Amino acid sequence: MKTKFSQKHSVVASILWALLILSFYFVSGAAIVITKATSTHAMLIRAICVFAACLPPIIYIWRSTGSFSDYGFTKLKKAEVKKVLFFLPLIVVDVVPIFSGFKADNQVSFILATLACTLCVGFAEEIYYRGIILNILKLKGDRFAIIGSSVLFGLGHLMNIAGGANVAYTLLQVFFAFFAGIVLAEIVVITNNIVVAMLWHFLCDFLAYTTNDGSLLFNLVGAVIQTVVLIAFFIYLYIVIERLRRKNLQRA
């Protein structure tokens, strides 16, 4: 039986998948600059490009195995939800931006465009990083897959610099994305469910676009709270995974 390229060169294949989704973001960024789009139109352009980015992984899964359950599209079980503390730490992370309040100039058209964009982003980035890439890297073990997929996810946010984003702020995004990626990957490994990660990712991005930026002090305190929660949750989930691994070894 012929060995798949992703099985023989799992790291290279993972990088190629990461570059693929970034190429769609590059196209959307270029289109926004060329058309001099307003904030609402920019969101719609991103939504269209990211929606297109969803097609390659869907086609890949359908043609390779046909089983989306292998990539986390499964029903949650109560025992698994309990192991990840009912996702409460993730809820805490998402709640923090709400305390800065929602933007007063949010128009219905902008909110709807942002809703469409962030839903597409949540689905696309999770199916790429916590779906296909995590699945490919699992050939080298769960720990390698969790760290590897998170590194690629974090580094992917460096592309924001090309879009004119502040370097210091972008580096903070990379740092946050790395730890968020680890936590989401751990949750997918434990629960074998990617849908919750998609929903959290969508909500996190949606709130980032629709809430006020807040003062420097608020942003600093909020970032510290979110980071501490993510790191603590990451350590807890790591312990859970190690316990499950030892149990599996004993059964074997």
Phi, psi (rounded to 5 degrees) for 102: -85, 150
Query: What pTM, to 2 d.p., does this model score?
Result: 0.94
Q: How many Å apart are CA 126 and CA 117, to the nearest integer?
A: 14
pLDDT digits (tens, 9 = 90+) for 140-169: 999 999 999 999 999 998 887 666 667 777
Secondary structure in 3-state letters for the chain? CCCCHHHHCHHHHHHHHHHHHHHHHHHHHHHHHHHCCCHHHHHHHHHHHHHHHHHHHHHHHHHHCCCHHHHCCCCCCHHHHHHCHHHHHHHHHHHHHHHHCECCCCCHHHHHHHHHHHHHHHHHHHHHHHHHHHHHHHHHCHHHHHHHHHHHHHHHHHHHHCCCCCHHHHHHHHHHHHHHHHHHHHHHHHHCCCHHHHHHHHHHHHHHHHECCCCHHHHHHHHHHHHHHHHHHHHHHHHHHHHHHHHHHHHC
What would the mean pLDDT of 207-220 be, rounded to a whole number? Answer: 89
pLDDT of residue 58: 96
For residues 159 and 244, the model is more confident at 244
Least confident of 24-33, 163-172, 240-249: 163-172
pLDDT of residue 171: 84
pLDDT digits (tens, 9 = 90+) for 53-95: 999 999 999 998 778 999 999 999 999 999 999 999 999 999 9
pLDDT digits (tens, 9 = 90+) for 88-143: 999 999 999 999 999 999 999 999 999 999 999 999 999 999 999 999 999 999 99
pLDDT band at 173 (very low <50, low <70, confident <90, very high): confident
